[in-house]
A and B are shown apart, each in its own frame.
Chain A
Amino acid sequence: MPMMMLKGNESTAYAAKLARVKVVPAYPITPSTVFPEKVSELIANGEMDAEFLPVESEHSALSAAIGAAATGVRTMTATASQGLAFMHEVLYIASGMRLPIVMAIGNRALAAPVNIWADQQDTMAERDSGWIHFYAETNQEALDLTIIAFKVAENENVLLPALMGMDAFVLTHTMEPVNVPEQKDVDAFLGEKKINYPVLDPQKPATFGAFVFPEHYMEFKYSQHIAMEHAKKVIDESFDQFYMKFKRKYSKVSGFMVEDADVILVTMGSMTGTARETVRKLREKGEKVGLVKITVFRPFPREEILEITKNADIIAVVDRNISPGFAGAIFTEIAASYSNVKDKPRILDFILGLGGRDVKIENYEEIYERAKKAKSGKFEEVQWIDVDEKSVKEVEGSL
């Protein structure tokens, strides 16, 4: 298997090629522009056999992907931030029509203020759109998870679209050594694209995404929900099969030094690497701290989270997003997962790294110190890290 120096966007482009994607409709937006560039280059060089559709907007990109996927071919696109927000209504159509489209996202902040850097607000805003969510920590993961996303999305018990998020620039534009699998191995892993759902066929006319009265709408939403629940098992099986073939192990949540940890940090995406390094450093000083990385956010791995964090005193969730007026999305999910558990750890939320602000070891050390203090005495449930509170309070007033 060749090692290549790839940017995150190139990793997902190679994943598209290796998955033998047949249609790529895309509209460029920073930081995911390199994906359509690389895909069109691969097609122009004759390395990839696919149709590239340069459409006029992200809304059209996903609409075209729906049309392509409805013919039964493997379809992929990519976007970020405002582009994803512009796709919003089409995301629900793709999932409601149960089309296994895969989309790579360069996770980026939403305007205003305009900002093109790393932030997971864009995909968190699409939490309820019925898409499966994967998040990569590295460019290797970006490639692998994109290939796995096809396997999961196309499973006949799932048939849902999947997105794969990677942080803007930290992954999308940073070169890392990536082990690019052999074509024959990916072929063996994914298999030929099966036509396991009704497809557009002039010989068999049908209505797709039909109008539905109140008498039936709930049943369609319920069936989507069941499919998402099925995806939990299918994701586990696909991760296992991927490991058998490629010897790279994935799981919906993975722990690092969690066994005896009093404080467990929870992260998602590229910021996990820095957190792991911090945990290693703190462990050398004898601190009982661990780390949980979330790789799959939808379906939410509730059972795995409860299991892996159950012995901790404090769960310190780190959110690179904020729902103004409440908390970050991951905190919300974890707190809700614990809602019917009797003895639970104290769960705290730390907002960090919005709009591409550097995520540093010092930040995690501060989070750890604050979390440890919260074990006894007063604490704030949601805390902002590395933010100039003084300047903000001069304008907005104090709470």
Chain B
Amino acid sequence: MKKRVKTKTQLPLKNRWLLNIGAIVFLIAFIFIANQFLDSYIRRILNLCAIYTILGLSMNLINGFTGLFSLGQAGFMAIGAYAVAIFTVPLEARATIFYLEPMHPAISHIRLPFVVALLLGGLLAALAAFLIGAPVLRLRGDYLAIATLGFSEIIRIVFTNIQNITNGALGIKNIPTISNLWWTWGIALIVISSMVLLIRSSYGRAFKAIREDEIAAEAMGIGLFKHKVIAFMISAFMAGIGGGLFAALLGTVDPKQFYFTLTYNFLLIIVLGGMGSISGTIMSAFIVTIGLEWLRFLDEPLSIAGISIPLFRPGLRMVVFSLLLMGVVLFYRKGLMGQTELSWERIIGFFKKFGKKEGSQVGGDLSE
């Protein structure tokens, strides 16, 4: 390889392909090993990383790429999660789950394969996005955020109250826990690659044009409303898929899981990763998921040399995590990646630079 590779110069195509294939082989090997040897706690965190990646990308498409401040993700996720829950629960277990009020006869005998239920969840979420998109997407900025937030609460309350379909506040248990690393990471990879293709297509450019300047985009012949609805529906579809995987990972759903605070996790991921960066979203989905788990020791009582430190009690984790976030946001105002993407050139450049002078960093400020 050449001696000095700047971040801007491109690697030869062949080398890039080799690196890409290498990365995919590495990932497959990693999933294989993780599935065989790592304990269930770590596997679960890795699964959550994948699901949060999907949901982060779904939120980034609408908020970061299209520039619409939408906070409805938890609602769309709930639709996908409930679709998987309702249609994959074993028929024989249904009577015991729905013991307060039996399941509606129209659906009580339908059981779908996981993939079909997952897709159905995504499609239903997209349908919901289409239906609410018509009135809601005429709003802008904060108003849109409040309207979509309201939508996600409506979904949650509806799901709490249609007892014979969702089992209300009791939730649905015994969902076959099909989500394993192959499923979650396989689907996450599909979602990531379709996002990359979408953003590079003329639709992706239209979304970004709308984000940058609605009037100019309209003057260029981009139909604002149509594209907003398309972005909203794709985003909802992805959120539905993510929700379905989530349900099949936990094995149980209930309306409280989809409280609107869930949306803030995804908002956090995209703000930290960079609004409008796919690779940033992936990185920050990992950082947030693993970081929140790793900091769990702060929630437990700690005593050094017999003296218990009063600070360590449930809740400290979130305090520390929030402080860390503030630090990151102070130093990387546009998130870790801003609107740029990670590339092999950049990674190599980073390591070269890192090798030369230790401690120097490549990050959000390089918004070229």
Verify that A and B bind, or say they do not. Answer: no
